Amino acid sequence: MPIIVGARPDHARQYRAWDTLPGRAEGDRVQAIEAEPIGTERFVIEPLTVEHAPAMAAVLADPALYAYTGGTAPQVAELRERYARWVAGSGEPGTAWCNWVLRDRASGELVGWLQATVSGRAAAELAWVVGSARQGQGVAKEAARALAGWLRGQGVALLVAHVHPGHAASAAVAAAAGLRPTGRLVDGEVRWEG
């Protein structure tokens, strides 16, 4: 079953958590964080660049990946445009679009991507996709745990993901990242927080 969780891949649903956190005020905002390399035992999670588009088009080619999110497999040109937007950032002060590709240490191949839309240091909305060839091997859980740990280490107070209610594999990944379901539906997906 495809592992896709979190915000839509174009950062379309930006999480605005600042006003929901007690004790936070507009003047408390800090500089937005930037994606940095993150390591796990099996993977290097490296900041995404436009040059990753050709390899990622192959990773994202399986139509089954879009069963819960809709859409179709992107072509290389489409990914180049999308990644250029992602790398350019949100343009909104205090909001960072942090995007990474997931590289297998042993083979050097790309196997997926991770994303965090970070509002100051208050909150981050997470998303991840692992290509079909590497699903069922704990890849998404390992990567999501590492991403959550890195974000918490950067001082991010709240992690959020939105998971399709029928997607047990994505729910397991969110739980592995330390998130718990809130029972609240947002655009038909269960909101998880941690």
Burial 95-127 (b: 16+ CB within 10 A, else e): bbbbbbbbbeeeeeebbbbbbbbbbbbbbbbbb
Instruction: Walk me through the domains of the chain, giving residue ranges and CATH numbers.
Output: 3-9+34-193 (3.40.630.30)
> Is the CB of residue 159 less than 8 Å from the CB of residue 194?
yes
In percent, the amount of the chain with pLDDT more than 70 equals 84
Highest mean pLDDT among 5-9, 15-19, 109-113: 109-113
User: Model pTM?
Assistant: 0.83
Per-residue pLDDT at 158:
97
H runs (alpha helix) in the chain: 53-59, 76-88, 139-153, 168-176
